[in-house]
Amino acid sequence: MAEREYVYPPVIRAMKGAFRALDLKIDVHGADRIPRSGGAVLASNHISYLDFIFAGAAALPSRRRVRFMAKKEVFDNRISGPLMRGMRHIPVDREAGLSSYRQALECLKSGEIVGVFGEATISRSFMIKDLKNGAVRMAQAADVPLIPVVLWGTQRLWTKGKPRRLWQRHVPITVLVGEPMYPKKGQNSAELSAELHARLSALLDEAQSTYPDKPSGPADSWWLPAHLGGTAPTLEQAAEMDARGRGEGENGTEKKTEAEAEAQVEAKATAEAKPELKAEPTPDTKPETETEPEAKAEPQPEVEAKAEPELKAEPQPESEPEAMKPEPKPDKAAASAATAAKDTTPED
């Protein structure tokens, strides 16, 4: 008997109410390709902070709920955390990705749909970036279909480096569900990921060419890709911006823009930890204490000498070698799972 859910259904109803209030024109095509039962990996493009909402909407006609993989910081946030846990989404810890990978496999094998953003980060160019292999490997390991999904128009509401426009009305949102892929164990995951990339790119071309809206003027062309006449960066320019944003650190202007955009969805714990690390005065205070004459006083050796017998009397040296014995080397299957877990780790 399926476990009853108390959070996901009201969240879905609230989202539908918001869509109606804003008159968002959500057009879903191919929803019948989402299976009504059994596990599946839903692999979506990533152009907005709200993509999980609209990608999940693709499964609603089949009466399915998608468990999305999202970075752990989202679950640590006091606002979004309880909602994410209540909807049974899957936290991804970059330092321990194997655990989240195994949790995703358990969901798939128990008949759940798991949502993955294979690009890991939001695409500033609004084109399909290079994909990680995690989505393919999970579908192979769980022997479930891999379903490509493309979103278009969501970037107009809230995307990286741009102000939030959550209360815009009458914005068209396109959701295209592609033909399922059926990866099998033993197939080359890199080749399968390349095929997934090609399918997502074809779906994105279709979504862009049939989208009912056009920019209202030059200032509004930021959400259109460069090859379609918009002012969004190219894939190459976007890659440079991402690299520069990672390198600028805390004082970079681009980094500040991203932090403002993510503050409502992602955890504040990571941002708060950075100033604490910088506030440590250790390098500056050491020279001062060394120059003070009192610091050279002799009583300290006596204290240390008295403490030494107590340390030697403890039986810890005999028990430590047993605790320090090297753990057995992981087998090839565990190493492969760890690699796949790394490939599913989102950065944004």
Beta-carbon contacts of 138 under 8 Å, excluding residues fewer than 6 positions away, are 41, 101, 104, 105, 108, 114, 116, 340, 344
Q: What is the pLDDT of residue 247?
A: 67
3-state secondary structure the chain: CCCCCCCHHHHHHHHHHHHHHHCCEEEEECHHHCCCCCCEEEEECCCCCCHHHHHHHCCHHHCCCEEEEEEHHHHHCCCHHHHHHHCCCEEECCCCHHHHHHHHHHHHHCCCEEEEECCCCCCCCCCCCCCCCHHHHHHHHHCCCEEEEEEECHHHCCCCCCCCCCCCCCCEEEEEECCCECCCCCCCHHHHHHHHHHHHHHHHHHHHHHCCCCCCCHHHHHHCCHHHCCCCCCHHHHHHHHHHHHHHHHHCHHHHHHHHHHCCCCCCHHHHHHHHHHCCCHHHHHHHHHHCHHHHCCHHHHHHHHHHHHHHHCCHHHHHHHHCCCCCCCCHHHHHHHHHHHHCCCCC
Position 334 scores a pLDDT of: 56
Looking at the predicted structure, is the pLDDT value of residue 11 above 60? Answer: yes
Segment 206-232 mean pLDDT? 97
Q: Radius of gyration over alpha carbons of the chain, in Å?
A: 25
- Predicted pLDDT of residue 342: 61
* Band (341; pLDDT cuts 50, 70, 90): low
- pLDDT (average), residues 32-45: 98
pLDDT the model gives residue 215: 96
Confirm if 142 and 214 have CB atoms less than 8 A apart.
no
| pLDDT > 70? residue 170 | yes
* Residue 322 CB neighbour total at 10 angstroms: 7
Selection from 22, 44, 46 nearest residue 34 by Cα: 44
The pLDDT of 308-329, averaged and rounded, is 45
Q: What is the number of alpha carbons within 13 Å of residue 199 lying toward its C-beta?
A: 19
Is residue 313 over pLDDT 50?
Answer: no
**Percentage of the chain modeled with pLDDT above 70:** 70
**Helix 332-343 vs helix 97-109: crossing angle, to nearest 10:** 90
Does pLDDT of 184 surpass 90? yes
Angle (nearest 5°) at CA 24 between 18 and 26 = 110
**Statement: residue 266 has pLDDT above 60:** no
Q: What are the structural domains, with CATH classification, of the chain?
A: 8-271 (3.40.1130)
Q: Which residues pair with 27 in a beta bridge?
A: 174
* Mean pLDDT for the chain overall: 80
Model pLDDT for residues 138-168, shown as the tens digit of each residue: 999 999 999 999 999 999 999 999 999 999 9
Whether the pLDDT of residue 124 is over 70: the answer is yes
Section 113-129 average pLDDT: 96
Q: Which residue has the higher pLDDT, 239 or 320?
A: 239
Residue 311 CB partners (closer than 8 Å, separation 6+): none
Q: How confident is the model at residue 67 (pLDDT cuts 50, 70, 90)?
A: very high
For position 246, what pLDDT does the model report? 74
What is the rounded CA–CA span in Å between residue 44 and residue 41?
Answer: 10
Distance CA 41, CA 147 (A): 6
What is the CB neighbour count within 10 angstroms for residue 171?
16
How does pLDDT run across 51-66, given as a tens digit for each residue? Answer: 999 999 999 999 999 9
% of residues, the chain, pLDDT over 90: 66
> Average pLDDT in the 68-89 region?
93
